Amino acid sequence: MTSIMNPPAGYQDLDKIIVSESMIKRRVRKLGAEITGAFGEEEITVVAIINGSLFFVADLLREIRRPIRLDCIRVSSYRNETRSIGKPEIVHSLTIDIANRHVLLIDDILDTGKTLSVVVNLIKKLNPASVRTCVLLDKKGRREVDFEADFVGFPIEDQFVVGYGLDFAERYRNLPCIGLLKAHLQNPPEWR
Ligand code: 5GP
Ligand code: MG
């Protein structure tokens, strides 16, 4: 648990904690068990979308009791300060072969659904045996394309969150919990 007497750097910039460190730990353990069960004896090829999913993936993979291969891809942020500006693009693609493999694609958060649908389409073109998706957070109310993840950590409201991998201008990723930034630090309110 995070000590209130000795908070991590960045804590003071939060307005509110949405998901605490202990909630994350508990949920990640359960998700790991769910995924372990869902994949049977199969080896899993994990594709992580970085940077956002780094912390989640590092913790989750150690809770999955199956052989795993790991690769990362990087998707360009297709947003500016205020709104969506087109389509997400893959700026660094896969380096391992996924043909005939069981793929688990992992991202930090499912919002409009654009990022995951672009990446799933790319993966499907490479003829995997199966593709499933896992996200830590799901903003259900924000979907612009029809997309649901197979494994979800926490459904959350439509609000901009940081911590546990999620950033604001590359900061706050190392917070052990997930929370809302104080309003004056979101200048202007981003991602809309
Ligand atoms: P989508 O393409 O589904 O709209 O957005 C997914 C990506 O947008 C995520 O991978 C994440 O990088 C970013 N994103 C969406 N909502 C948030 C949020 O509340 N906080 C942060 N830090 N990033 C977000
Ligand atoms: Mg991201």
How many structural domains are present in the chain? Answer: 1
- Cα(115) to ligand 2 centroid in Å equals 8
* Residue whose CA is at the smallest distance from ligand 1 atom 16: 111
- Cα(111) to ligand 1 centroid in Å equals 6
Q: How high is the mean pLDDT in each 10-residue block of the chain (192 residues)?
A: 69 95 98 96 96 97 98 82 66 93 98 95 97 97 95 96 94 96 75 46
- 133, part of any domain: yes
How confident is the model at residue 87, as a pLDDT? 82
pTM: 0.93
CATH number at residue 106: 3.40.50.2020
- Check if 110 has its Cβ closer than 6 Å to any atom of ligand 1: yes
How confident is the model at residue 76, as a pLDDT? 85
- 67, part of any domain: yes
C-alpha–C-alpha distance, residues 120 and 151, integer Å: 15
No. of H helices and E strands in the chain?
A: 3, 9
C-alpha–C-alpha distance, residues 52 and 32, integer Å: 19
- 19, part of any domain: no
How confident is the model at residue 84, as a pLDDT? 56
- 102, part of any domain: yes
How confident is the model at residue 78, as a pLDDT? 66
C-alpha–C-alpha distance, residues 10 and 161, integer Å: 13
Query: Ligand 1 pocket check: which of 166, 167, 170 to mutate, most ligand atoms within 8 Å of Cβ?
Result: 166
Q: Which atom of ligand 1 is nearest to the CA of 88?
A: 2
- 9, part of any domain: no
How confident is the model at residue 157, as a pLDDT? 96
- 35, part of any domain: no
How confident is the model at residue 81, as a pLDDT? 42
- Check if 113 has its Cβ closer than 6 Å to any atom of ligand 1: yes
- 1, part of any domain: no
- Half-sphere exposure of 79 toward its Cβ, with a 13 Å CA cutoff? 14
Tell me if residue 13 is catalytic.
no
Domain that includes residue 52, residue range: 43-175
- 96, part of any domain: yes
